[in-house]
Amino acid sequence: MTNIDNLKTKYASAISAANGLTELDAVRVAALGKKGEVSLQMRTLGQMSTDKKKVMGPALNALKNDLAALVEARKSVLEGAALNAALASEMLDMSLPVKTDTGTLHPVMQVMEEMAVIFADQGFAVAEGPDIEDDFHNFTALNFPPGHPARDMHDTFFLKPNENGDKMVLRTHTSPVQIRTMMSQEPPIRIIVPGRTYRCDSDQTHTPMFHQIEGLVIDKTTHMGHLKGCLMDFMSAFFETDVEVRFRPHHFPFTEPSAEMDVRYARVGDEIRIGSYNGKMGDKWMEILGCGMVHPNVLKNCGLDPDEYQGFAFGMGVDRLAMLKYGMPDLRDMFAGDGRWLEHYGFSPLLQANLATGLS
């Protein structure tokens, strides 16, 4: 028993003397580790007489438990001290002025913020979905029949087939999030979906990765008039000037009727001015987005009864709207990661877009 008492005294004092977590762990290993002194003692139990074992077994077990408890207690003291030291040394003086001479917000992020602020004011919530999608959400549920040419028109990036032979895709648009939302949420639904999208395409106005913002409203009464009002208000708020729009009939598999919306603009030299310029409306039209009333098949595919529910959807390219608003000539520059470009076109990360003080 003296041996046990000695071990207890030895390690209890080593534990309380340990001044850091590494040191404490070394003591723990020396006593309780696989080859630790206490563990070695426990291994001798097998060779003891039954009577001796009856005494030594419980005694060694108690020693083990006592030391483990001491280690835990010391550990939480040391951790507390380490946290206090970190808090003291890493303290930030919030009253100091922030260094603002490095780092800017990318125009795409700025524009997505601006859009979210405008749509939030119209009562939209933000929804998100995965960049890697399955065929069902990206195409089938959106009323693209299997083998439909529109699937190829999207220049889809396909992933290697899985064990069932199914190929996942990099989502070609943000529209699959319409499906995900309708399948997981009861109407009324009023969401926007800002996010990354992918198509195998690259030139002055296309990059393989780009950004879209999708809108979806589902309830029992929303009609095309609401769609028009919503988008007209959005455009004037976004471009921070009067903007005139027109709707042209178009075709998308997931809306019926479908339309494209154009905005009026003027060319001034090399520059494009959206809306009015010098008090005059521009004389040209530019296509800005696709929209329409959600197709009954899409509602059905999501388990909604088209005789009961209806609504509108729209989708637009964020990068292109950023280029138009802030006068950037080449889409590819946006994703080239050139610090000089970011310094020139970037926004202060400290200025939050809001409708009261102006968006940009």
Binding site for ligand DAH (CB under 6 A): 173, 175, 214, 252, 255, 290-292, 313-315
Question: Do residues 189 and 299 lie in contact, with contact meaning Cβ atoms separated by under 8 Å?
Answer: no
Residue 43: its H or E element: helix 37-43
**Nearer Cβ to ligand DAH (75/250):** 250
Question: Do residues 77 and 20 lie in contact, with contact meaning Cβ atoms separated by under 8 Å?
Answer: no
**Nearer Cβ to ligand DAH (239/314):** 314
**Minimum distance, C-beta of residue 208 to ligand DAH, in the bound complex (Å):** 14
**Minimum distance, C-beta of residue 168 to ligand DAH, in the bound complex (Å):** 18
Question: Do residues 277 and 305 lie in contact, with contact meaning Cβ atoms separated by under 8 Å?
Answer: no
**Minimum distance, C-beta of residue 80 to ligand DAH, in the bound complex (Å):** 54
How crowded is residue 122: how many other Cβ atoms within 10 Å of its Cβ? 15
Contacts 24+ apart (CB under 8 A), 281-287: 281/242, 281/244, 285/246, 286/262, 286/324, 287/260, 287/261, 287/262
**Nearer Cβ to ligand DAH (137/173):** 173
**Nearer Cβ to ligand DAH (63/127):** 127
**Nearer Cβ to ligand DAH (14/213):** 213
**Cα 251 vs. chain centroid, distance in angstroms?**
30
The residue of the chain with the least Cβ separation from ligand DAH equals 315
**Nearer Cβ to ligand DAH (14/291):** 291
**Minimum distance, C-beta of residue 288 to ligand DAH, in the bound complex (Å):** 11
DSSP for 256-297? EEEEEEEEEEEEETTEEEESEETTEE-SEEEEEEEEEEEPHH
Q: How far apart are CA 3 and CA 304, in angstroms?
A: 77
**Minimum distance, C-beta of residue 268 to ligand DAH, in the bound complex (Å):** 29
